[in-house]
Amino acid sequence: MNKHLRLLSAAGVCMLACGLAAAQDYPAKQVRLVVPFPPGGGADIIARIVGQKLTERLGQTVIIDNRPGAGGNIGTDSVAKSPADGYTLLFGTVGPLAINVSLFKNIPYDPAKAFAPITQAVTVTNLLVVHPAMGINSVKALIAAAKARPGLMSAGTGGSGTAGHMAAELFKSMAKLDILIVHYRGTTLAIQDLIGGQTYMAFETMVSTMPYVQAGRLKALGVTTATRASAAPNIPTIAESGLPGFSGNNWYGFVAPANTPKPIIDKLNTEIVRILNLPDVKGTLTTMGAEIIGGSPDDFGNLIRTEVVKWERVVKESGIQPN
């Protein structure tokens, strides 16, 4: 073995040893979990459920840090630029981790390269909801009403690039509707304006909409997924109730800045997957319309790369102009 090879080998052994030491000592202080959306939305609710349990498992406080703006780009970019030491994590969603790269001209990070995937947490069903006062009880009736009032009906979203935004754009395109897409700084604000009668419809997560549906303040017309949700089997899919072929889902997962030591990533993966499968956590999330995933870092990395390509195609086919 020549001198250069010996030096490289020694460097590799040192890096591995340092990584293992870091994992053994990790965490030695509080961990910041960034949610790139305002409090009260689906991502925030799920992050807090898992974060509380992670605090117990790690023996250090996990702080939820809401950093909304630009469809999740602001909070997501803040994590991409954070030290790769495991003390700043992101609870990312399909928007900032897969869709936004096609929707924004100057996105400041590459979702496939800027992060070290930890685990996909869940997939979440979105609901098409309207205000009960509209008197609309089916997807077909909503489409008919929108066609009778071109340009006058609106759909609120939790932000550009969110799953709710893309579902609204897909609905508009497939049904050939002239409706206005209104973006808010988070799901909570979009739902508040829908309840207040400022918009006509929204495609948001069951986590954030079902409490209002159950209270009679919103009317659920359909789920955005290809099959009915186990948490609400009485609600039809949009595809079966008026728009054949419609399908879209939402997902959330944990990532760290790229180059975070692998032993730390593996430790976080083990703990988070264990938390997701705790009976009380799994039961709570399932009733919210979330399906537990909890796979490996490689599985989540592959999903992110695949979804970037998928949504790039959808954005182009829908004719959406990048911001």
217 and 254 part of one domain: no
Same domain, 134 and 218: yes
In a domain? residue 305 = yes
Q: Are residues 217 and 130 in the same domain?
A: yes
CA atoms within 13 A on the CB side of 294: 16
Last residue of a domain, one of 223, 242, 269: 223
If asked whether residues 82 and 139 sit together in one domain, one would say no
Task: Please report the pLDDT score of residue 179 as a whole number.
Answer: 95
For residue 196, what is the domain's CATH number? 3.40.190.10
294 and 272 in contact (C-beta within 8 Å)?
yes
Q: What is the pLDDT of residue 276?
A: 98
Residues spanned by the domain of 216: 126-223
What pLDDT score does 242 carry? 85
Model confidence pLDDT, tens digit, residues 37-86: 989 888 999 999 999 999 999 999 999 999 998 889 999 999 999 999 99
What CA–CA distance (Å, rounded) separates 271 from 263? 12
pTM over 0.95: no
Q: Which of 187, 207, 223 is the last residue of a domain?
A: 223
CA atoms within 13 A on the CB side of 257: 15
Per-residue model confidence (pLDDT) at position 53: 98
pLDDT of residue 289: 82
CA distance 220 to 125: 12
Q: Are residues 219 and 284 in the same domain?
A: no
φ, ψ of residue 131 to 5 degrees: the values are -80, 135
Domain assignment present for residue 167? The answer is yes
In a domain, 261, yes or no: yes
Which stretch of DSSP H or E encloses residue 204? Answer: strand 201-205
- 17 lies in a domain? no
Q: Domain check: are 216 and 268 in the same one? A: no
Residues of the chain where predicted confidence (pLDDT) is lower than 70: 1-23, 321
- Asked if 194 and 134 sit in the same domain, the reply is yes
Cβ pair 2, 10 in contact under 8 A: no
Total domains, the chain: 2
Q: Are residues 112 and 147 in the same domain?
A: no
